[in-house]
Amino acid sequence: MGELHDIAVAFTKTDCYERLGNIDKNKIQAELRGERRPTAGSEFAKQVIRLARLDAPSGTPPPLPASAIDALWARDGVFVRSLSSFHGDLRDAARAAGFTVIYVQLDHSADVQGNINELASIGAGLKAQGWKIAGWATYGQGTDAAADGQRHAGIKRDLGLSGWVANGEAWAEGDGYGKTAEFMQGWLRGGGNGPLAVSCLSSDNPNFARGFDYPTWLSVPGAAVMPQTYGASNPAYTVTNAVATMQNGGVPRNRLALTFDVIAGAGPFQNYKTWTGPRSIWTGDDSTVDTWGALAR
């Protein structure tokens, strides 16, 4: 029992597998985890999936749980480049609109030391007001993704943060697909533990998945996928397109926490409000007090 499944796993280590598109790769990996996916595109991928379905071993892990994100990511949040630029009036307005998490940039920025200093001086007060504080930073953007992961695990631990959002965009897609697994290896080597989430690109096209390593994030219990649904920057980055793109990439809807942008405090708020799940705003630095009233549910 399980021999054919083992052969299917072995095929994922061949050159033929490496030449597949990322959509078929994602479908194969999902099938090997015990999930059912729509039919693959290539004949090779179809046969690998057929083997996986024919002879699942008794020790096959169960499918990913239906409701999976950590309670932290179920809250509405605000990304900030600089903590001080998301000042008292903006924080108060955001809090009144139901936002309760601040994601502070803590690597790869000139604002890092200032943010760390401000966390030390006002962090306790923010927590007393009901805010959770998590960190965020890019990984693999011209840097060693594994080293980033190890360092970010230490930052989260040393600063006593409630969670960490890793930011992987175009540089972690296509030829950079492997940077996510490298980040995760470094994160684990650094003693990292959840809550963990990823901020990644959305799309203006609902028909295709992006070439991004969603399976690694979906394998982390409680991790959320946070596609950047930046309708203020590009009107085609709609809620509908974001959800469809993620579905094509094998990301269940209940693993999503969409991130919306505002430019000079404005955005396509009516479209944003069609999303009823957890959400975040990029960035609090760019908001106005009126922004938060427009986002209130």
| Beta-bridge partners for 43 | none
Q: Which of 147, 166, 151, 282 is nearest to 223 (CA)?
A: 166
DSSP string, 199-220: EEE--S-TTS--SB-HHHHHTS
Spatial contact of 176 and 213, defined as CB atoms under 8 Å apart: no
User: Tell me: the pLDDT tens digits for 224-270?
Assistant: 999 999 999 999 999 999 999 999 999 999 999 999 999 999 999 99
Q: Which has more pLDDT, 158 or 55?
A: 158
pLDDT at 25 over 90: no
pLDDT at 66: 47
Asked if residue 246 lies in contact with residue 283, where contact means CB atoms within 8 angstroms, the answer is no
Share of the chain above pLDDT 70, in %: 88
For residue 62, what pLDDT is reported? 46
Domain boundaries, the chain: 3-54, 76-295
Q: Is 15 exposed, middle or buried (0-12, 13-18, 19+ CB in 10 A)?
A: exposed
Pick the CATH number of 76-295 from 3.20.20.150, 3.30.360.10, 3.30.70.100, 3.30.390.50: 3.20.20.150
Report the pLDDT value the prediction gives residue 293, as an integer from 0 to 100.
97
267-281 b/e with 16+ CB inside 10 Å = b?
bbbebbeebebbbbb
* pLDDT tens track for 119-140: 999 999 999 999 999 999 999 9
Which residue type occupies 2?
Answer: G
Please write the tens of the pLDDT for every residue from 97-119: 999 999 999 999 999 999 999 99
**φ, ψ dihedrals at 240, nearest 5°:** -60, -45
